Amino acid sequence: MDTLQNAINGKLTSSKSGKAQPVYNPATGEPVTAVPLSSASELSEAVAAAKNAAEAWGRTPPLKRARHMFRFKELLEQNSSKIAEAISREHGKMLNDAQGEVNRGLEVVEFVCGIPHLLKGEFSRNAGPEIDTHSDRHPLGVCAGITPFNFPAMVPMWMFPVAVACGNTFILKPSERDPSAAMILFDLFQQAGFPDGVLNVIHGGKEVVDAILEHPDIKAVSFVGSTPIAEYVYATGTQDGKRVQALGGAKNHMVVMPDADIDKAVDALMGSAYGAAGERCMAISVAVPVGEETGNRLVEALTPRVRTLKIGPYTDPDAEMGPLVTRQQMEKVLGYIDLGIQEGAELLVDGRGFKLQGYENGYFIGGTLFDRVTASMKIYKEEIFGPVLSVVRAKNYAEAVDLINAHEYGNGTAIFTRDGDAAREFADRIEIGMVGVNVPIPVPVAYHSFGGWKRSLFGDHGVYGTEGVHFYTRLKTITSRWPTGIKSGASFQFPSLN
């Protein structure tokens, strides 16, 4: 079995750590490759390469950087099916889902192809007596990204294309669970003609993460993962003087109003709760029907759909849901189902014990549905990250809003209704970073920005869009006056127009 290599200064290099772990096909439980657990010294080699490339790349005209990005975009389009195949083989998600992931990452690359316009500064003539002021944005230097297993291509493309287009160099630390897609991205990046050292890839675990957070030459760190790790990354990185954006966990609710189209609401819940086996930070894991009658109608329509969910490997074109990413994740989700029963939730559809003929060693769980879940239960409070949907019934609209606003996570939410007033009021009142109105997974397009509230995001900037450009640059403002406009004599008054 081959072991993946790191990518340092434009070249693939085998790790010298002597440590590696297998990467599994979650549908079969069989190893497909191995990933090195690199050392802190290898991370330092990558940082040195990135630092060496940073000055020249930062001075490269934005239009030239954009031309490289256009070529990268073309190569991504030509190789999208190859990337999707690598994602599905190591993550387990369906091929069409993996292709959708690649396409959404591609949108960010398309966005930063416009970097000459995005980096345009501002100019004010005669801001004061014969004084002009202009501002522009400068790259930070070496940046790094630590990415999760659930989107092994899309999330890296949320980060390094934006950073690189802004004139920075980048260190990417992919997830150890499905790292092959990142290596394809690196290969295509090099083919696009970017200089060596602009993008480097280092595989590893906590040792590499800590080395990234502590290295003095890394100026900014982007992270997506669980809330405890996001908080650790943010606290550690900022303590060492870095700029950090750390996206954490979620518990996304979907409110179903009495006037909603129940069939459309059920369609939305099926895709958003069980797509990718629920391993999405924007998955809907809580349905909140408003009123007992609405709850009864929703559960009655939803239950048979969950029972007949088509589950299989990514090679099955008819499958709707695949396995969990690892055995450990599968066991964790099974533990939450057991806990939900102990806590008194009503288990309508039990995904435990699901076995697929020919794939008995795969990490499969059937779709699971709980009703009568309450806000005091752990299965409500905590992020399960699996194919488990909880129904929490609200007596009225106000109770539904209060329920969502009281939760510690504030990543995404949705409301299904025909009432424009209710939808507008919901979008205004809800304390959540991303809101969908009759849209179950409200992931913003690339020219807006992605980011939650509360304990779903640590830091001041969301990712990609203009927020991403601002995160990976710093503002400089220049105020100038030439000798012909300077009057003789010192002035001790603070400058103003009065």
pLDDT tens-digit map of 240-261:
999 999 999 999 999 999 999 9
What's the confidence (pLDDT) of residue 82? 98
Which residue segments constitute the domains of the chain, with CATH numbers given? 6-248+456-478 (3.40.605.10), 252-437 (3.40.309.10)
Asked if 284 contacts 253 with a C-beta cutoff of 8 angstroms, the reply is yes
What pairing do the DSSP bridges indicate for beta strands 409-410 and 453-454? Answer: antiparallel
Tell me the pairing of strands 453-454 and 218-224.
unpaired
pTM of the predicted structure, to 2 decimals = 0.95
Reported in sequence order, the residue ranges of 188-247 that DSSP labels E, i.e. its strands, are 199-201, 218-224, 243-247
Give pLDDT tens digits for 172-216.
999 999 999 999 999 999 999 999 999 999 999 999 999 999 999
pLDDT at 482: 85
SS3 state at 357: coil
Per residue in 280-320, pLDDT tens?
999 999 999 999 999 999 999 999 999 999 999 999 999 99
Contacts of 398 (CB under 8 A, 6+ apart): none
Confidence at 128, pLDDT banded by 50, 70, 90 = confident
Candidates 113, 143, 166, 281; catalytic one: 281
DSSP string of 21-88, one letter each residue: EEEEETTTTEEEEEEE---HHHHHHHHHHHHHHHHHHHHS-HHHHHHHHHHHHHHHHHTHHHHHHHHH
How far is it, in rounded angstroms, from Cα 187 to Cα 195? 13
Sorted by sequence, the CB contacts under 8 Å of residue 406 that are 6+ apart come out as 375
**Can you read off the two tokens belonging to residue 493?**
């008054």
Active-site residue flag, 113:
no
Centre a 10 Å sphere on the Cβ of residue 175 and count the other Cβ atoms it contains: 25
Does the pLDDT value for residue 483 go beyond 70? yes
